[in-house]
Structure 1
Amino acid sequence: MKKFNIKGTDLNVSNIVMGNMRINNLSLKETEALIHTAQESGINFFDHADIYGGGSCEEQFSKALSMDKSIREKMILQSKCGIRRGATGYYDFSKDHILSSVDDILKRLQTDYLDILLLHRPDPLMEPDEVAEAFDQLHTSGKVRHFGVSNHNPMQMELLQKSVNQKLVVNQVQFSLAHTPLIDSGVSLNMNTENAVNRDSSILEYSRLHDITLQAWSPFQTGFFDGVFVGDTKRFPELNEVLDRLAVKYDVTATTIAVAWITRHPANIQVVLGTTNAGRLQESAAGSDIPLTREEWYELYVAAGNMIP
């Protein structure tokens, strides 16, 4: 398992992350086995959010492990807050909500601190100075060691960082072989094609310039939960043909190759896995450091329906 340092922190992290969005569908015994499978595969990073299962996923995680200090010290725990469920759903970056959310997260996870706290989705009503006050209080108290965001563009991060004293070290964004706006506009610059449209404000380049670690969520999804592309030979026949051929070459599965395509990128992008299947988790984790060649990487990109000008 490849590990690297998240710049601006003392965290040495696996480039594969176990996401815990759906573990409340498992029994406690099954959850414990899944976590141990992740650890045995070399994963030391576990991602949560207060809205996953309405908080029940965080509770499930800690109960399955009977969390104590010896267990906690072997893990890097990250959670997210800022999304609230009302009549329509809304976002809340108010100081009071951030502080109360973290207290609730820590209680559910049975821990005294989070290694990283992310603001889940941009709040148009955000008051940066108010967020800064919350972060200062959480950092000074030791409840949160490092901070970041999720689904934010560069200017949203700049606006926040202007007030926040702690460096924003992570941005979690959607990215997969069949969902590639992070790189499309850079590849197709000045071309009169759909891919040339800059849909993410160059977040990949911004993150590399500012030493921000990107985390890829939904690494097997097409679009916004439009289905998994691995094995979907009806919509992605060429892509699956290449995935299968490379899987044979490297003696792994197509799922492994899909992960390897992301981890091959020099930005050290972490891949957040949402599976609750232990076998699939192992297959995915095996993509941590498979040495896809430059030609193979581009072949997969084109097979997914993209153009190389």
Structure 2
Amino acid sequence: MQSGRKQLTKDLSFSTFIHGYWRLKDWEYSQDEILNLLQQGLDLGITTIDHADIYGDYECETLFGKALANKSSLRSQLELVSKCGIKLLSEKYPERSVKSYDLSYDHIVGSTEQSLKNLQTDYLDVLLLHRPSPLYDPGEVARAFDHLKQSGKVRYFGVSNFTPQQTQTLQSYLDQDLITNQIEISVNCLEHFDNGNIDYLLEKRMHPMAWSPLAGGKLFSAANKDRVPLLEVIHNIAGELNTDIATIMYAWLLKHPVGIMPIVGSGKIERLKAAVRAQEINLSDEHWFRIYEAKLGHEVA
């Protein structure tokens, strides 16, 4: 079975499942192993790749780019996404004294050009602002986006971890539509059902990218007692449908009509296969609400 697809614009679609490479440095893969994983993902229909400038202490993009350069013909089969805007404390930047956000024209353009160099590509399919900044000028962002679009360095733009109001405010300054918001969504994180983001995304026909769709693995250990009821419900449904809990957690996301695109951040092909299998699961409305209610801790009002 292959990953389905989600249409974001008239000429851009993403694979329903997105492969996240934020742990690439930790995998300690050779260039051949990275290429093999990438190809196996493509065989599953997973064509969309998620990066950010800061991942792996600013090294993951370079590791990926070096591998991709060994088989550059794969670039045309991929949708490359990267993010910018966070300045981490790092030995690579000894002049920094505090973690901060920078959404200035110079930083957005400079970071994007560095990402292109690291990834060894001429363009990004989508650039996301990694976090909203309390100290940013939307006009600066608009100017940077215009430059990157007109120069052919970025095809489309989006945001990450933005609230509905923050997205709407930025959009009001832009000539082009923001096409996605990468946010945390899982059976264990209902924040965006409560803050209006899911409703906003439905209104704007925007498909969100979901980071940490398996709740960062927290549920698998059940170390925290307040998660036991939720885990028990997921286990029970997995038994009823003859599958595993990870697949149920993905299926719960896929059922929502907003068109969630989960980011699978594993370097193991079996984890990618398990994610794609979620498309075969016939999760009923009752299944979905049993999980939702278990996380709420009470029945819906």
Fold agreement, TM-score > 0.5: yes
Q: Is the 8 A contact 1:67 1:111 kept in 2?
A: no
- Relative to structure 1, the CA distance from residue 91 to residue 277 in structure 2 (aligned partners, 3 Å threshold; closer, same or farther) is same
1:274 paired residue number: 265
Q: Is the 8 A contact 1:262 1:269 kept in 2?
A: yes
Aligned equivalents of 1:233 and 1:283: distance in 2?
23
The reply to whether residue 79 of structure 1 matches residue 70 of structure 2 is: no
Q: Is the 8 A contact 1:2 1:289 kept in 2?
A: no
The reply to whether residue 262 of structure 1 matches residue 253 of structure 2 is: yes
Indicate the SS of the match to 2:132.
coil
Map 1:96-175 → 2, pairs under 5 A: 96-175=106-185
The reply to whether residue 92 of structure 1 matches residue 102 of structure 2 is: yes
Aligned equivalents of 2:64 and 2:240: distance in 1?
37
Q: Could you list the runs of 5+ residues in structure 1 that have no partner in the other structure?
A: 186-199
The reply to whether residue 215 of structure 1 matches residue 215 of structure 2 is: no
2:21 paired residue number: 20
Indicate the SS of the match to 2:218.
coil
Is 157-166 or 255-264 further displaced after alignment?
A: 157-166
Root-mean-square deviation (CA, aligned residues, Å) is 1.8
2:91 paired residue number: none
Indicate the SS of the match to 1:304.
helix
Equivalences, count: 288
- Relative to structure 1, the CA distance from residue 232 to residue 41 in structure 2 (aligned partners, 3 Å threshold; closer, same or farther) is farther
- Relative to structure 1, the CA distance from residue 234 to residue 181 in structure 2 (aligned partners, 3 Å threshold; closer, same or farther) is closer
- 1:276: Cα distance to partner? 2.3
Identity of aligned residues (%): 37
Indicate the SS of the match to 1:252.
coil
Indicate the SS of the match to 2:220.
coil
- 1:17: Cα distance to partner? 0.8
Q: Could you list the runs of 5+ residues in structure 2 that have no partner in the other structure?
A: 89-95
- Relative to structure 1, the CA distance from residue 93 to residue 300 in structure 2 (aligned partners, 3 Å threshold; closer, same or farther) is same
Q: Which amino acid aligns with 1:63?
A: K
Q: What is the TM-score with the length of structure 2 in the denominator?
A: 0.89
Indicate the SS of the match to 1:230.
helix
1:36 paired residue number: 39
1:62 paired residue number: 65
Q: Is the 8 A contact 1:31 1:61 kept in 2?
A: yes
- Relative to structure 1, the CA distance from residue 178 to residue 9 in structure 2 (aligned partners, 3 Å threshold; closer, same or farther) is same
The reply to whether residue 228 of structure 1 matches residue 218 of structure 2 is: yes
1:193 paired residue number: none
Q: Is the 8 A contact 1:76 1:115 kept in 2?
A: yes
Is 167-176 or 37-46 further displaced after alignment?
A: 37-46
Is 138-147 or 85-94 further displaced after alignment?
A: 85-94
Q: Which amino acid aligns with 2:197?
A: I
Write the deviation string for residues 55-80 of structure 1: whole angstroms up to 9, x where unpaired: 31111112223355521011111000
Q: Which amino acid aligns with 1:81?
A: C
Aligned equivalents of 1:251 and 1:11: distance in 2?
35
Q: Which amino acid aligns with 1:262?
A: L
Aligned mate of 1:179, from 165, 178, 189: 189
Q: What is the TM-score with the length of structure 1 in the denominator?
A: 0.87
2:230 paired residue number: 239
- Relative to structure 1, the CA distance from residue 70 to residue 101 in structure 2 (aligned partners, 3 Å threshold; closer, same or farther) is same
The reply to whether residue 296 of structure 1 matches residue 299 of structure 2 is: no
Write the deviation string for residues 124-174 of structure 1: whole angstroms up to 9, x where unpaired: 121111111111110011100000000111221122111111111110111
Q: Which amino acid aligns with 2:46?
A: I
